Amino acid sequence: MNKLRCLLTRGGGFLALVLAVMSGAAEPISYNRDIRPILSDNCLLCHGPDQKTRKGKYRLDVREEALAVGALVPGKPQESKLIARINAEKPTERMPPPEAHKTLSAAQKQLLRDWIAAGAQYEKHWAYLPPVKPATAPGRNPIDTLIGERLAKVRLQPAPPADRRTLARRLYFDLVGLPPSPEEVEVFEKDQSLEAVSRLIDRLIASPHFGERMAIGWLDVVRFADTIGYHSDNPRNIWPYRDYVIRAFNENKRFDQFTREQLAGDLLPGSTREQKVGSAFNRLLLTTEEGGAQPKDYEARMLTDRVRAVSTVWLGQTIGCAQCHDHKFDPIRQQDFYALGAFFADLEEPIIGRREPGMLVATDAQEAELKRLDEALRRAQEEFDAPRPEWQAAFGAWQVAQAEAVTRQRQAAATNAANAKNSTSGLPLREIADLLLIPAAQRDQKQQEKLYAHFKSVAPETAEAGKQLASARKARDSYEESIPHCLVSQTNSHPRVVRVLPRGNFLNESGEIVQPALPAFLVPPGSATNGLRLSRLDLANWLLGPDNPLTARLVMNRLWKQFFGLGLSRVVDDLGAQGELPPNQPLLDWLACEFRDSGWDLKRMVRLIVSSEAYQRSSVATKELRTRDPLNRELAVQSRWRLEAELVRDNALAVSGLLLDRIGGPSVKPYQPDGYWENLNFPVRSYDPSAGPEQYRRGVYVWWQRSYLHPSLLAFDAPTREECAAERNRSNIPQQALVLLNDPTYVEASRALAARMLKEGGSEPKSRLTWGWRQVLDRAPRPEEFQTIQALLEKQLTEYRADPAAAQALLKIGQAPAPAEIDPAELAAWTNIARVLLNLHETITRS
Amino acid sequence: MNPHPDFRQYLAQRQTRRTFLGRTAQGIGSLALAALLNPALLSAVAAERKEKWPGVVGSLHYPQKVKRIIWLSMAGGPSHLETFDYKPKLARMHGEPMPSSFTQGKQIAQLQGQKLLCFGPQHGFKPFGKNGTTICELFPHIGSVIDEICLIRSMTTEAINHDPAHMFMNTGSQIAGRPSMGAWVTYGLGSESEDLPGFVVLTSLGQGGQNQPIAARQWAPGFLPSRFQGVHLRGKGDPVLYLGTPAGVTHAQQKDVVQTINTLNAQYDTIVDDPEIGTRIVQYEMAFKMQTSVPELMDIRPESPATLALYGCQPGDGSFASNCLLARRLAERGVRFVQLYHKDWDHHGGVKEGIAFKAREIDRACMALIVDLKQRGMLDETLIVWAGEFGRTPMSQGGDGRDHHNAGFSIWLCGGGIKPGFVYGATDELGYSAVENPIDVHDLHATMLRLLGIEHTKLSVKFQGLDVRLTGISGDAVTSILS
């Protein structure tokens, strides 16, 4: 969980209160907004959906039951037992009971009282109702209309638009994950027209780096990684899936199709190679090669892993809670959990042990080349197999000579065992020797063929043709090996039997057998399956179908977080009762409907969001805003946050000029401290950093070792992707300082940036510093900044001039050679200047 | 509903700083300006905002018996049958079929589908201490302090493979992504150390070559904020990743660089007024301090010859004994939770020789840690836990080894609040199942938190809609072993 979320989860009711007070208007009590969170958090464990933990004789989440026992008497709080119990003097009477460690505040008690007075009306949980698209006036971005309505209601004044430089950097980081060049910013600053903004947005959304940026969040939530996760944490062939995701975002693959391909790409009629690679989604889970792992144990782990994944990625439900029991807060039965898992029981895969190499993922050119090599191999084989009179003749002579030699050798062996031992060299193997001793006429065809084949493998006459055959085979095989492979989904017509596991215990096989089924609480009763077993494709189709109110909201909520730093509903992985009713539900619902109505057009939604005034506002909040809406739930202002781990890296490589911005390919290995993998075993692992330009690829391509994620990414809160992660921490810890100060990646980038300051920044310290500032921050240094940095520069220059060896040592860090034409002392001093620039808070902040 | 402590702290922090700088959102106060021009004052700004995490447990639920925990993780799964649980009957039945009444319906790892034969203890046992507690004679040093130790012979766990079993022992869950106990404890109580992390991990290898992998998730903060993650202090290379200043940069130059970064960040803060910037300044100071404090901590050369002899280690040898000595040094510096992994306990084969190796590696060191803490008056404020992720089968594997086993095994505790010289619980006569006072991992965690003053049901964090805690949904502190 996110630190921010940690902070928010308890702060929410408080915030609702603050806003309710500041809005001044007494809004009618809403069950979903005001009452459900109180009941859910304090009462439902014992008076809720799970029959096993239900201690009360009735449920409070079902109105009829609460009325029947008199817990609620609509309109008459004084007669309602609920009110009596929460206010009871005696601890034995009082609810919630002391052992629950829950306390209702006075405000909460008052809300319950008012709600009963107003008739104790219930509502279905907001996220289970279909989203309704609010009407918005034409001519204005509906996002701004809907935010504006809230702002007017709570009487908050929105912040002014961000300045052009900030906006350009924000759009670049959010849409492509790279910084703009100073020249681009300069042009953008000069052209203050609205068209300039929309042109920039269009250009960035069309950039091939858009897919890389969008992929980061998706790869987190689906838990993409290069290794299996458990125990030995060995590699598996999976990276083509990462490139599939990048391509899908770049091509604006419609989200419904994107979903179908990942869950069931292999089941689509006439499925393409690309669609099958998409289906690698089903193989992203953790697996083990540990000796002694029990298949039943891991079958259960894999099922639960997949259920958690589908519910996190597409449903935003904590269905994982129903592994051992019915859900405590949401109407999810244990059976729903296993029935959802049963959709994946058809997947062909080893439960324990090494994964298979997977499907060949060749480009057209590679496929053509492979075909050519296949053909060459076939020809060489033909050549070798063709009847040839000259070989036949030689074969005759060879048989005679060899038969004699064998006979001689055997006689000698009979008389002198020691001699025989010494004279066996140059003679055929025993099996062949035996054949040679059978007279040719008495050999059957098989024996004769065997002998001929052996002859061809040793005879000088056939050597040339044999060599050609061998080299054709080697060429073909090694080429095939060089082509990427990817684990994909393959269906088995005999799916594994799935049972409900009582208390999640895999040793207990007494549970009922379940068939694949959609979660009962979301599917209208009586949905017929005509007796057919539902497939993964059915699941995918239902997820994007009209009956599912969750997916569109969930995906839009996560997308919103990418652009505003916080979801509209702040708990981005739970739209259930323990999540949060979004303060601006009309906006989330509008986005969800628009997304669906647009035919699941993600680029359209991104464009709508970043084109809004709300997105383009300044991120500097006034004192009033900060006091009245400290967590910025009303979006009167933009937010600022530290860049994602991958982008911290990308930014440093980009501004230093080292970045190789090629799209896709095998994962790469940045420099890593020696011994970081020392605790990996089976086998012991060595780490070889990528050589040459591959060293300077973007963070999204970094080798994702689940049990030891690259420490520079880990320090900046990249998740290990052992579990689906819908959001990341945004921490601020000393390890981040150590990475930016001392990791060779950043020292080398600093040196490259320093060389550019010296070469491209003119000849004066001032112009060079200004050049560097513009390169890193797209602005000139302010006078006080200039003073501060100049003092450091002068000191460093003096020190390195006095110690050339130190300068040389610093310049040696990293693979890229230092330019020989620059004075080492000067370059070393400037390298430390560049280190300062790459370490600045502003440099690693999206504002 | 009260705001979350993080949130309270965030508000308080902003308030403090605004007061100190005398700043309004529109302008810079004169003191702030002065601070920018004067590095000493800048430090004062940072010092004012020193982020010493106080912990979320405001007032303790129980009297605090210990301030810190040193957890000795015997990774791989030590055989209880060659360490602390003497089973003469198993010796008598050596080679005979294991009665199925013991094994029916139980989880089995590598011995699945194989013939199960009893495998007697491979080493002798003898009584130690005032109470004559019988333990394996390979561990005479531990025997010499057995009167300080509370031995538990009825430990159980749910998992039976290394990786999930470590996860369960560390996080109370077999699903990746939950906070490790060290993270929970630091989150709950904070750290007393100014310039070291609150949760530190050390690892060492055994000579037997059965070194099972350990994933970094074992000390991960899970869904708690990243600041609570365990920091792995390494024996080779930089003790903390990226701790070393780049070649060609002196300590003084690094200081200048850090100082300049902090000054520029403070200057930027006057424009955008972002509380994260203050935090970042503090983190850079902390990082820079760690560049000195950690190497100083790791250097055991200044320890007296007597101390080195007590532990039986040499500076730089990377041994478990060295790590025990480092654990004491970390304890002295206020680190809240120290976890030592010592590997190579996975004796599927050659258990006889294997255990002898282990005894040589850990016996003296464990004793030394106890004796050393005691002579410094720190033992009664420290809890030492010695535990593997599981035990090993009373049945043989391959004729000379033992398989993984989770139905009953031995661990020990030592230090404040614990009944010393006490033996708790027992396995059946063949050492298969814990039959007397069985305790599980949640119970162990609950007991550990209780000694720290925390009621385990009250230390929870909202995650995916649940009040998630280290002890899952069960666990009872084992009060019978508390003094």
pLDDT tens-digit readout, A207-230 = 999 999 999 999 999 999 999 999
The residues pairing with B200 across neighbouring beta strands, listed in sequence order, are B231, B338
Question: A215: which DSSP letter?
Answer: H
Nearest by CB to A723, from B11, B177, B457: name it.
Answer: B177
Q: What is the pLDDT of residue A112?
A: 94
- The parent domain of residue A811 ranges over 644-715+732-847
Distances (CA, A) of B422 to A96, A446, B130, B148: 40, 78, 11, 8
Does A57 contact chain B (CB < 8 Å)?
no
Q: What is the pLDDT of residue A5?
A: 36
CB A161 within 8 A of CB A617: yes
Query: Worst-scoring range by mean pLDDT, A113-122, A583-592, B417-426?
Result: A113-122
In the structure, what pLDDT confidence band is assigned to residue A26 with cuts at 50, 70 and 90?
low
A686 and A796 fall within a common domain? yes
Rounded Cα distance, A254 and A251, in Å: 9
pLDDT in tens, A823-844: 999 999 999 999 999 999 999 9
Rounded Cα distance, A730 and A717, in Å: 6
**Structural domain contains residue A3:** no
The residues pairing with B203 across neighbouring beta strands, listed in sequence order, are B341
Nearest by CB to A795, from B161, B256, B284: name it.
Answer: B256
> Pick from A122, A148, A175: which residue ends a domain?
A122
What are the two backbone dihedrals, phi and then psi, of residue B436, each rounded to the nearest 5 degrees?
Answer: -110, 125
**Two tokens at B391?**
């035990």
Give yes or no for residue B34 having a pLDDT over 80.
Answer: no
Q: What is the pLDDT of residue B42?
A: 52
Q: What is the pLDDT of residue A16?
A: 46
Give yes or no for residue B48 having a pLDDT over 60.
Answer: no
In the structure, what pLDDT confidence band is assigned to residue B11 with cuts at 50, 70 and 90?
very low
Give yes or no for residue B3 having a pLDDT over 70.
Answer: no
Q: Which of B13, B184, B260 to probe by mutation at the A interface, max A CB count within 10 Å?
A: B260
pLDDT in tens, B407-460: 999 999 999 999 999 999 999 999 999 999 999 999 999 999 999 999 999 999
Nearest by CB to A729, from B163, B225, B261: name it.
Answer: B225
Nearest by CB to B6, from A7, A12, A836: name it.
Answer: A7
**Structural domain contains residue A251:** yes
Query: Worst-scoring range by mean pLDDT, A369-383, A771-785, A808-822, B273-287?
Result: B273-287
**Structural domain contains residue A762:** yes
Q: Which of A4, A5, A8, A10 to probe by mutation at the B interface, max B CB count within 10 Å?
A: A10
In the structure, what pLDDT confidence band is assigned to residue A577 with cuts at 50, 70 and 90?
confident
Residue type, A370: L
Nearest by CB to A742, from B11, B110, B245: name it.
Answer: B245
- Say if the Cβ atoms of A832 and B273 lie within 8 Å: no
**Average pLDDT for A715-741:** 93
pLDDT in tens, B387-399: 999 999 999 999 9
**Average pLDDT for A156-179:** 97
CB B253 within 8 A of CB A828: no
Give every CB contact of residue A487 below 8 A, 6+ residues apart in sequence: A236, A237, A238, A280, A283, A355, A356, A358, A359
Does A350 contact chain B (CB < 8 Å)?
no
Give yes or no for residue A96 having a pLDDT over 60.
Answer: yes
Listed residue (A508, A206, A66, A489) closest to B105, CA to CA: A508
Q: What is the pLDDT of residue A682?
A: 93
Q: What is the pLDDT of residue A579?
A: 85
- Say if the Cβ atoms of A321 and B465 lie within 8 Å: yes
Q: Give alpha helix (H) positions in B128-172.
A: 140-144, 162-171
Give yes or no for residue A10 having a pLDDT over 90.
Answer: no
Q: Which of B464, B473, B476 to probe by mutation at the A interface, max A CB count within 10 Å?
A: B464
CB B422 within 8 A of CB B133: no
Q: Are strands B337-342 and B199-204 parallel, antiparallel or unpaired?
A: parallel
Rounded Cα distance, B332 and B460, in Å: 28
Give yes or no for residue A4 having a pLDDT over 50.
Answer: no
Give yes or no for residue A23 having a pLDDT over 90.
Answer: no
A 101-160: CB under 8 A from B: 101, 105, 108
Task: Output the CA angle B188-B194-B199, nearest 5 degrees.
Answer: 45
Rounded Cα distance, A210 and A259, in Å: 19
Query: Taking all residues of chain B, what is their mean pLDDT, rounded to a whole number?
Result: 89
Count of helix runs (H) and strand runs (E) in chain B: 14, 16
**Two tokens at A507?**
């040793």
A407 and A270 fall within a common domain? no
Give yes or no for residue B20 having a pLDDT over 60.
Answer: no
CB A727 within 8 A of CB A569: no
Distance from CA of B420 to the nearest CA of A (A): 32
Query: Which residues in chain A touch residue B226, judged by CB atoms under 8 angstroms apart?
Result: 3, 717, 729, 731, 733
Query: Worst-scoring range by mean pLDDT, A524-528, A643-647, B258-262?
Result: A524-528
- Say if the Cβ atoms of A507 and B465 lie within 8 Å: no
A660 and A772 fall within a common domain? yes
**In 3-state terms, what secondary structure has residue B364?**
helix
A544 and A651 fall within a common domain? no
Terminal CA-CA length for chain A: 23
Give yes or no for residue B45 having a pLDDT over 80.
Answer: no
Query: Taking all residues of chain A, what is their mean pLDDT, rounded to a whole number?
Result: 91
Nearest by CB to B36, from A784, A810, A845: name it.
Answer: A784
The residues pairing with B202 across neighbouring beta strands, listed in sequence order, are B233, B340
Q: What is the pLDDT of residue A417?
A: 56
Does B18 contact chain A (CB < 8 Å)?
no
**Two tokens at B124?**
């002798």
Rounded Cα distance, A80 and A70, in Å: 6
**Average pLDDT for A255-262:** 98
Give every CB contact of residue A739 below 8 A, 6+ residues apart in sequence: A711, A712, A715, A716, A746, B242
Q: Is the peptide bond before A516 cis (omega within 30 degrees of 0)?
A: no
Give every CB contact of residue B46 below 8 A, 6+ residues apart in sequence: B262, B278, B281, B282, B285
Q: What is the 3-class SS of A383-436, one letter each residue?
A: HHHCCCHHHHHHHHHHHHHHHHHHHHHHHHHHHCHHHHHHCCCCCCCHHHHHHH
Rounded Cα distance, A613 and A163, in Å: 13
Q: How many CA atoms lie within 13 A of A509 on its CB side?
A: 6
Give yes or no for residue A201 having a pLDDT over 60.
Answer: yes
Q: Which of A2, A4, A6, A685 to probe by mutation at the B interface, max B CB count within 10 Å?
A: A6
Does A3 contact chain B (CB < 8 Å)?
yes
Does B17 contact chain A (CB < 8 Å)?
no
Higher pLDDT, residue B84 or A291? B84
Other beta carbons less than 10 A from residue A740's beta carbon: 28
Rounded Cα distance, A263 and A279, in Å: 6
A674 and A802 fall within a common domain? yes
Q: What is the pLDDT of residue B40?
A: 47
Distances (CA, A) of B209 to A6, B160, B201: 42, 21, 21
- Say if the Cβ atoms of A676 and B253 lie within 8 Å: no
The residues pairing with A486 across neighbouring beta strands, listed in sequence order, are A359
Give yes or no for residue A13 having a pLDDT over 80.
Answer: no
Rounded Cα distance, B220 and B231, in Å: 9
Rounded Cα distance, B211 and B95, in Å: 28
**Structural domain contains residue A615:** no
Q: What is the pLDDT of residue A387?
A: 87
**Structural domain contains residue A146:** no
Higher pLDDT, residue A12 or A111? A111
**Average pLDDT for A796-802:** 98
B 224-253: CB under 8 A from A: 224-227, 231, 234, 236-238, 240-250, 253
Which DSSP string do the residues of A144-182 spell out, in sequence order?
A: HHHHHHHHHHHT-PPPPBPPHHHHHHHHHHHHTSSPPPH
pLDDT exceeding 70 applies to what percent of chain A?
95
Question: A617: which DSSP letter?
Answer: B
Does A447 contact chain B (CB < 8 Å)?
no
Task: Output the CA angle A498-A499-A505, nearest 5 degrees.
Answer: 120
* Tally of domains within chain A: 4
List the domain boundaries for chain B: 68-236+318-481
Give yes or no for residue A421 having a pLDDT over 90.
Answer: no
Angle between helices B30-37 and B39-48 (to 10 degrees): 120
> Pick from A515, A532, A548: which residue ends a domain?
A548
**Structural domain contains residue A570:** no
Query: Which residues in chain A touch residue B246, judged by CB atoms under 8 angstroms apart?
Result: 741-742, 744, 747, 810, 813
Residue type, A360: L
**Average pLDDT for B134-158:** 98
Higher pLDDT, residue A148 or A508? A148
Rounded Cα distance, A559 and A564, in Å: 9
pTM: 0.86
A336 and A437 fall within a common domain? no
Question: A131: which DSSP letter?
Answer: P
Q: What is the largest CA-CA distance in chain B?
A: 86
In the structure, what pLDDT confidence band is assigned to residue A45 with cuts at 50, 70 and 90?
confident
**Average pLDDT for A739-754:** 98
**Average pLDDT for A54-82:** 89
A514 and A468 fall within a common domain? no
Q: Which residue has the tokens 């005679």?
A: A400
Task: Output the CA angle B163-B165-B171, nearest 5 degrees.
Answer: 100
Listed residue (B314, B90, B242, B269) closest to A746, CA to CA: B242
Q: Which of B170, B218, B241 to probe by mutation at the A interface, max A CB count within 10 Å?
A: B241
Q: What is the pLDDT of residue B22?
A: 33
Distance from CA of B217 to the nearest CA of A (A): 6
- Say if the Cβ atoms of A11 and B4 lie within 8 Å: yes
Q: What is the pLDDT of residue A46?
A: 87
Count of pairs with CB atoms under 8 A, one residue in A, one in B: 283
pLDDT in tens, B49-107: 445 678 899 899 999 999 999 999 999 999 999 999 999 999 999 999 999 999 888 88
Does B263 contact chain A (CB < 8 Å)?
yes
- Say if the Cβ atoms of A9 and B211 lie within 8 Å: no
Listed residue (A583, A491, A496) closest to A536, CA to CA: A491
Q: What is the pLDDT of residue A527?
A: 61
Listed residue (A736, A9, A621) closest to B227, CA to CA: A736
- Say if the Cβ atoms of B107 and A675 lie within 8 Å: no
- Say if the Cβ atoms of B263 and A577 lie within 8 Å: no
Rounded Cα distance, A192 and A163, in Å: 10
**Two tokens at A55?**
């201690």
Rounded Cα distance, B421 and A839, in Å: 54
**Structural domain contains residue A755:** yes
Angle between helices A208-221 and A164-175 (to 10 degrees): 60
Rounded Cα distance, B68 and B336, in Å: 5
Rounded Cα distance, A610 and A564, in Å: 10
Q: What is the pLDDT of residue A432?
A: 84
Give yes or no for residue A403 having a pLDDT over 50.
Answer: yes
A 672-691: CB under 8 A from B: 673-676, 678-682
Listed residue (B299, B331, B371) closest to B145, CA to CA: B371
Q: What is the pLDDT of residue A416?
A: 66
pLDDT exceeding 70 applies to what percent of chain B?
89
Please, what CATH class does the domain formed by B68-236+318-481 belong to?
Answer: alpha beta
What are the two backbone dihedrals, phi and then psi, of residue B419, each rounded to the nearest 5 degrees?
Answer: -70, 115
Listed residue (A175, A223, A176, A160) closest to A605, CA to CA: A175
**Average pLDDT for B293-314:** 96
Higher pLDDT, residue A9 or A476? A476
Query: Which residues in chain B touch residue A330, judged by CB atoms under 8 angstroms apart?
Result: 465
**Two tokens at A652?**
């440093």
Q: What is the pLDDT of residue A528?
A: 59
B 130-149: CB under 8 A from A: none
Query: Which chain A residue is nearest to residue B39, measuring alpha carbons?
Result: A788
Higher pLDDT, residue A522 or A162? A162
- What number of residues does chain A have? 847
CB B237 within 8 A of CB A674: yes
A 794-813: CB under 8 A from B: 795-796, 799, 805-813
Q: What is the 3-class SS of A787-801, one letter each residue?
A: HHHHHHHHHHHHHHH
**Average pLDDT for B275-287:** 91
Distance from CA of A507 to the nearest CA of B (A): 8
**Two tokens at A199?**
């042109």
Residue type, A303: L
A385 and A313 fall within a common domain? no
